[in-house]
Homo-oligomer: A and B are copies of this chain.
Amino acid sequence: MPPDAARRSDRSRRAILVAALELVEALGYSRLTIEAVAARAGVGKQTIYRWWSSKGPLLFEAFVELGPVERDPRPSGDLATDLRLELRATVEELNERRFDQVCRVLVHEARTDLVTLLLTPRRVRLEERLRAGQRAGEVRLDVDVAAAADLLLGPVHQRWLLRTAPLSGEHADAVVDLVLRALRG
């Protein structure tokens, strides 16, 4: 591709990603169409389909590339405080309309593998904190760290996926308090 064409193509790509994210935030996943994204980005529908097969992968790439809101609390050094901070940050992220709507498109298109990928960084942070807790004697050594992370995240993710109840900081705290009893020596 000559340099000018490459630059144009790059600009189109970015315009599409920005438009997709803005529209899913404004309209919600069920009313988002490729036509609307094309119109807002000032490109033809075919340009979008050349790069992405459907709304799901397009939004996934937009979200990863344009960057999620950073929300990584600093560890305080106290296990209970840190787990509460992490789980509350998880709840805030899930409650963010943009994140929520991107994930719902992905669930709708049966791309739960991509949803899992978006949820993985938080899980990794939690597991690291639990392992640090084991080294510091705050968490029993025979606790399976992956199972413990499941216990913390499972109730929150379930509420979010099934929309059984609103996600709140209080709910997250209640989960942490109960799980802490299972972790301590």
Q: Which residue on B lies nearest to A184, using beta carbons?
A: B181
| Known A30-B110, A181-B182: A175·B150 in contact at CB below 8 Å | yes
| A44: interface (CB < 8 Å) | no
Mask: chain A, 130-172; 1 = CB below 8 Å from B; 0 = not: 0000000000000110011011011111110111100000000
Write the nearest CB–CB distance from A157 to chain B, whole angstroms: 5
Give every chain B residue within 8 A of A161 (Cβ-Cβ): 112, 157-158, 161-162
Q: Are B155 and A112 in contact (CB under 8 A)?
A: no
A182 to B162, CA, bound (A): 25
Give every chain B residue within 8 A of A157 (Cβ-Cβ): 154, 158, 161-162
Write the nearest CB–CB distance from A12 to chain B, whole angstroms: 31
Q: Are A158 and B154 in contact (CB under 8 A)?
A: yes
| A97: interface (CB < 8 Å) | no
Q: Are A175 and B162 in contact (CB under 8 A)?
A: no
Q: Are A178 and B182 in contact (CB under 8 A)?
A: yes
7 contacts between A and B (CB under 8 A): A108-B108, A116-B164, A150-B159, A153-B155, A157-B158, A161-B161, A161-B162
Excluding A115-B162, A153-B154, A154-B155, 15 further A-B contacts by CB distance (< 8 Å) are A107-B107, A112-B162, A112-B164, A119-B162, A144-B174, A147-B178, A151-B151, A154-B156, A154-B157, A154-B158, A157-B158, A158-B161, A161-B161, A180-B182, A181-B182
Which residues of A pack against B, CB within 8 Å? Answer: 30, 104, 107-108, 110, 112-113, 115-116, 119, 143-144, 147-148, 150-151, 153-159, 161-164, 174-175, 178-182
